[in-house]
Structure 1
Amino acid sequence: MPSSNLRHIHYRGMVYDGRQACLCIIRGSAAQNKTEQAPMTESRRRNENSMNFKVKNDTFLRALLRQPTEYTPLWMMRQAGRYLPEYCATRKRAGSFLNLCKSPDLATEVTLQPLERFPLDAAILFSDILTVPDAMGLGLYFSEGEGPKFERPLNTEAAIKALRVPDIGTDLKYVTDAVSQIRKALDGSVPLIGFTGSPWTLACYMVEGASSSEYTKVKTLMYKEPKLMHHILSVTADAVTAYLNAQIEAGAQAVMIFDSWGGALSHAAYHQFSLPYMQRIVQGLKREHDGVKVPSIVFTKGGGLWIESIADIGCDAVGLDWTMDIGVARQKVGHKVALQGNLDPNVLFATPEVIRDEVEKILTSYGYGGGHVFNLGHGISQYTDPDNAAALVQAVHELSKKYH
């Protein structure tokens, strides 16, 4: 990609250049250096957390609040990831995925990388949904090529009853530190999204001990010992609520709950074991920070059948996967919530012309007016050509203007 299409994002007296995947020192004046070395008082910390609250491009936030926009804003789930060579270079320097997540400096670096390549309308914190159960003492680790695992899964009644909400300020400080650093690095260019997994999705990993395609252990517990299942979900919901509020206090301007495995549940089980706990989280969120609204997004993969129930829990926006017609979704819930989605990620393996055609179909289906954030229906594949991601961004920004 030509260098003219890449922007430089300033961060802590440094400039991040996504082409080089590094942070390069910029020398400032002696006065600037002296200012940067001044002690961090509590009042200064509060000022720095709010100094960039006026966002230059707030299209994403306005769309979530169903306010008028000039075009349809766009970001991509997993936009900072393995499809970018600069991400792979940073990941290699980190030594492990967990090191990458737990270093605020490296998390900041990779969060900024997609914004260097593409004129996206939002940044999303680089982290992992399993940071919460890790902080709850389950011992998260990653096996090469096998995904996340837990050293101490919840496989006994005693372990389940011993589950506690972690100290967010201590055990997850590396996340809130990253949020603050990213927010400062963005310098008000675009909003920053914080996120978490849903209690049900986190419980799937916590009980299974790893990724699963059958969910045998967690569903067995759910049906045989529902009280124990509800205990896991209740404690996790409290932890997640505190975690998201800490991200908001650190600078996140919108938050998203990923219910990645909600679609594995039956209709009755979803309304008993997933949706109520997401509603509890939404109701417990800080809805404003520094006098500005903080929108919330709820995304259940495979949850199209339950969109009306999801829209009733109090969130500002509902995320859609690619299996639901967004126009139908708008007819059902567009008067209550904004919608986010919903291009099949596999479309990005096609040509730019096909990508453009598929974007047009979604925009046409949604129709005129605001309340739509364009996104993929799931995370972008690691095998995606970055040029095709660029074609997606260009198509959305160009084609959507006529609908506003």
Structure 2
Amino acid sequence: MFDLNLPLAERMRPTSLDELIGQEHLVGEGGILRKTIKSGVVPSMILWGPPGVGKTTIANIIANQVKSPFYTLSAVSAGVKDVREVIEKAKRQSKAILFIDEIHRFNKSQQDALLGAVEKGTITLIGATTENPSFEVNSALLSRSQVYTLRSLTEEDLLRLIDMVLKKDEKLKKKNVHLKEHKAMLNISGGDARKLLNLLELVFDSLAGDEIEITDEKVMDIAQQRVAIYDKSGEQHYDIISAFIKSLRGSDPNAAVYYMARMIEGGEDVKFIARRMLIMASEDIGNANPTALVIANNTFQAVNVIGYPEAEIILSQCATYLACSPKSNASYMAIKKAKAMVRETGDLPVPMSIRNAPTKLMKDSGYGQGYKYAHDFANNFVSMEFLPDQIKNSKLYDPGKNAREEEMRKRLKALWKEKYGY
């Protein structure tokens, strides 16, 4: 018998892989994670996926299946001291599992504290993250862990979940619940199964009578979320970040801080916002204002140190600066053109004059012959061909129409005269 005082999502948490809805590619018949758990030999792993798709549930199922001591830490509240305490306990046991929720919030020193224990097998680490582990988990720890990617739950998955709990939960079974409409419930929960079930229970508790009909209007009234619904994992997440970047690119600081506020109010990770501004500073501003990249990079470093809520001040400063900055995508277009050229022309031979010649044999073979050291000439410049013969004189970087890049254009034109047509 479940404790009916527990939230519905906890009461209905699956205890076996067969009860889990979704993630068939990992835990369905033939799924790699099912095979791993069935073998009883569980490696350290990172479970990467959106909120509420089963990361914590899978960790609990693994612990139950392999009958191991199971410890849980949240990276939001735990520190190095907590990690070391668990490791000391695990040394006195065998096959202890340490589950760390939101492991991406652990800083480098906290992650480093895990390394030795994971390497020696003192603990089996299961980390859960909504962020790309390639960016958020240090490489040494990542190399010692398997990464399993969990997918967003489909509408069909979520409706199956609702149907299942309406039939199984002792509390919800006390009334005849009819789900007439489901769009609002799915939109508000944003694909997060935990949020969906807690919303379902809230609606259930708010409607009187033995017969309950759930409609979109009733759900919206009860949830009081007619405005500013933000979902970190679903379609709106991508719509809001797209609007934010386009506002920065479009030099509209007002729209930029508005969409940033939408993300902040929705609980978006500050590092995600800062990372996107860092990319934008190079892609959309580039050499029109090189300081933008410096400020964006400093913002990324600063919000890692500061965290919420003060980080929003730093984010706002950076966003307004980027929005007000002159824009250029010339550098971005240059690398795109260069990559297209490489794909088209293949591995062209580097001109002999600019090849490295570390040995006598290579020097005798002509490597480096004819190279002219730019600093030996006026203006630290010498006219040479650096591209392979087959693509010589190709122009890939075309400076943008802004004050800084116009200076670059004038310099290039003076140096190269008419060679590149600047």
Whether TM exceeds 0.5 here: the answer is no
TM-score class normalised by the smaller sequence = under 0.3
Bigger proportion of residues as helix = 2
Q: Which has the larger radius of gyration?
A: 2
User: TM-score of the superposition, structure 2-length normalised?
Assistant: 0.24
Bigger proportion of residues as strand = 1
- Higher RCO (Cα < 8 Å, 6 or more apart): 1
